[in-house]
Amino acid sequence: MTNDENLTVKQQREKRRAEKVAALKAKQKKEKRGRLVAIVLSATAVVAVLGIVITVVVSNATRPAPQVPLTAAERAAIEIEGEELFPGLDPTHTTDPVQYDVMPPAGGPHNPSWLNCGIYEEEQPVEYAVHSLEHGAVWLAYDPEQLSDEQLTELRRVAPDRHAIVSPIAGLESPIIASAWGARVQVDGPADERITQFIDKYWLSPSAPEPGALCSNALDGPGRVS
């Protein structure tokens, strides 16, 4: 480094000015870097907030099914457009194949064993699924040819996490048919409010022959997803 004593007055003045300029540039660079960090942090926070908002909006687009059964009075107050009722169904147990009048059935004679509730990607033995209805389960059957992947994902999300079956049945009259013991409703997609209305009204309903009985520890059907 050059010794200031060997510099002329003019050179010393220019050196001090150069040092001040360098210090000023360093300060400005540091402040700019600080502003950039603040901008990035602010942008990250905004994205995080937007992500939370979007998640809340999406998760509430179709209200998840209740995990606590409604009271009898609350159920009775629910009116479902297009609901089909099947009073006086026979709850007899049989190991013989059963010919049901509608598909999926809303009850009737069924196998002594029940189908474990859950989400399936293959068709299930109907006589076993009907036994699950006897225990208060709801069955969300869908025609895979009439439902998109996105709709199927939403249908699975809407289903309660217990005492519910989601499974395909080819050739249904509608894309989705929800059934419970003694009742059914046909809908075009999982966004239809009648899906959640039906679950509210019939999930673990006291009108089922054995409401609340196990829907597990029995038959695991083919293609179980969860």
52-91 confidence digits (pLDDT tens): 444 434 444 444 555 688 998 999 999 999 999 999 999 9
pLDDT tens, position by position, 17-32: 666 656 666 666 666 6
pTM comes to: 0.72
Q: Return the percentage of the chain with pLDDT > 90, whole number.
A: 69
Average per-residue pLDDT in the chain? 85
Tell me the chain's radius of gyration from C-alpha atoms.
Answer: 33
* Mean pLDDT in residue range 13-17: 66
pLDDT tens, position by position, 186-223: 999 999 999 999 999 999 999 999 999 999 999 999 99
Res 156 pLDDT > 90: yes
pLDDT for the residue numbered 59: 41
pLDDT for the residue numbered 1: 47
Long-range pairs, 60-65, Cβ under 8 A, ≥24: 61/191, 62/154, 62/157, 62/158, 62/190, 62/191, 62/195, 62/196, 63/196, 64/157, 64/158, 65/158, 65/159, 65/160, 65/164, 65/196, 65/199, 65/200, 65/203
